[in-house]
Amino acid sequence: MQAAGKNTPALAQDVQVRVYDTGTMPAADQTVALRAAAGVLAAAGIDTTWMHCGLDAAAACNAPLEAGELSVRFVRLPGTPSASGQLQLGYSLVDTSTREGELATIFVDRVEWLAGKAGADSLVVLGFAVAHEIGHLLLGTNAHGSSGIMRALWSRGELQHAKVNDWLFSRDEGARMRASLQRRNGLRFTERDATGCSAALGDDPDASAGCRPTAAAAALRGVAAGGDR
């Protein structure tokens, strides 16, 4: 599968995501994490608007979700994360009959633990976890991919080396997520060039280099820097 070129036309889709956080992190840290998540989603042709729903949340945060709207909540679990076995960083509630989901949960303490062990920027890794779970909601499945950001296991080595394609959606995943949003939003979408930067993972690096997203690349630099924001 070839990487999409710079002039490849695509339909970029918009999604609004409510972010529920009852004091698990400072607002400035949340902004950094969500910027990383938005960069990964933008590379797949999805523009994200975040609605912050903290302790002093607006009334809109308590209203039922609208069509095409998603929600993410940040939580901390009691106790200390353990290195034994596989550590689940979050989960998404997906209706397997309708293949749709609306709520994802991220375990902030586990993300911080993993990032700390890898010497990576915990807020950028948190953003990648958010993008991964939103991927589940839009793809309508809890299944994982064999590579890219939708793979099931994230190793310390992958976080340390921070290869761009390890943290992007495949072109097929991006197309399916945009189609999901188009169905959810009905005819409310804006046609514009998404630049095809949801390049197929595993493509020749030289062929896809021109369409690698600046936002995602910047986020990966944050991972490599291990705290340089």
Would you list the DSSP string of 63-116? SPPPTTEEEEEEE--SS---SSS----EEEEEETTTTEEEEEEEEHHHHHHHHH
Q: What is the pTM of this model?
A: 0.79
Residue 226: the pLDDT is 55
Measured CA to CA, the distance from residue 190 to residue 164 in angstroms comes to: 27
How large is the C-alpha radius of gyration of the chain? 17
Task: Dump pLDDT digits (tens) for 119-154.
Answer: 999 999 999 999 999 999 999 999 999 889 999 988
Compute the average pLDDT of residues 74-82. 79
CB 16 within 8 A of CB 49: yes
> CATH assignment of 13-225?
3.40.390.10
Can you read off the two tokens belonging to residue 212? 């690698």
- Separation CA 131–CA 213 (nearest Å): 15
For residue 20, the surrounding DSSP H or E stretch is strand 13-21
pLDDT band at 45 (very low <50, low <70, confident <90, very high): very high
Do 171 and 203 form a contact (C-beta atoms < 8 A)? no
H helix count then E strand count, the chain: 7, 5
Work out the pLDDT band at 204, boundaries 50, 70, 90: very low
Position 79 pLDDT exceeds 90 = no
Four-residue CA torsion sign, 11, 215, 36, 136: positive
Average pLDDT, the chain: 79
Task: Give the pLDDT confidence score for residue 166 in this predicted structure.
Answer: 85
Q: Are 17 and 49 in contact (CB under 8 A)?
A: yes
pLDDT at residue 184, rounded to an integer = 86
- Are the C-beta atoms of residues 215 and 178 closer than 8 Å to each other? no
